Amino acid sequence: QVQLRERGGGLVQPGDSLRLSCEVSGISVSATNMAWFRRTPGKERELVAQITWRGTATDYLDSVKGRFSIARDSAENTIYLQMYSLKPEDTALYYCNVAGANDLTGWGQGTQVTVSS
């Protein structure tokens, strides 16, 4: 059974940085395309960033390009999302999952990122 545990969210001011982590069990991040998603109450879930199982290719939502960076630690089976220059528009509940996750996929609890002055 896949288990996902997101951590690292918090309340920050615009321009601040955060690093989110996602501990993964049940699947190997070095054998699975992984991704970070985010969701706000009035908006559908967005694919924020993804990384291939090889770790050699990444892709980002246009609005976070140049500010966010996804990475993995194969030894710890953990996915990270380094976020710089955070904006209020980045406020959301952030989730880690397989890149192809949808409403039928199991999800973790997520970690809340709030960017506010």
Give the per-residue pLDDT at 108.
97
Give the per-residue pLDDT at 76.
98
Reported confidence tier of residue 113, pLDDT bands at 50, 70, 90: very high
From residue 82, how far is each of 18, 21, 41, 43 by CA, in Å? 6, 9, 23, 22
Portion of the chain with pLDDT greater than 90, in percent: 97
User: What is d(CA 96, CA 54) in angstroms, rounded to the nearest whole number?
Assistant: 17
Rounded to the nearest angstrom, the gap between the alpha carbon of residue 29 and the centroid of all alpha carbons in its chain is 13
Reported confidence tier of residue 116, pLDDT bands at 50, 70, 90: very high
Provide the mean pLDDT of the chain: 97
Q: What is the mean pLDDT of residues 95-103?
A: 96
Q: What is the mean pLDDT of residues 73-84?
A: 98
Reported confidence tier of residue 98, pLDDT bands at 50, 70, 90: very high
Q: Which residues pair with 96 in a beta bridge?
A: 36
From residue 38, how far is each of 21, 30, 41, 98 by CA, in Å? 14, 22, 10, 13
Q: Which residues pair with 4 in a beta bridge?
A: 24
Q: What is the mean pLDDT of residues 18-47?
A: 96
Q: What is the mean pLDDT of residues 14-36?
A: 97
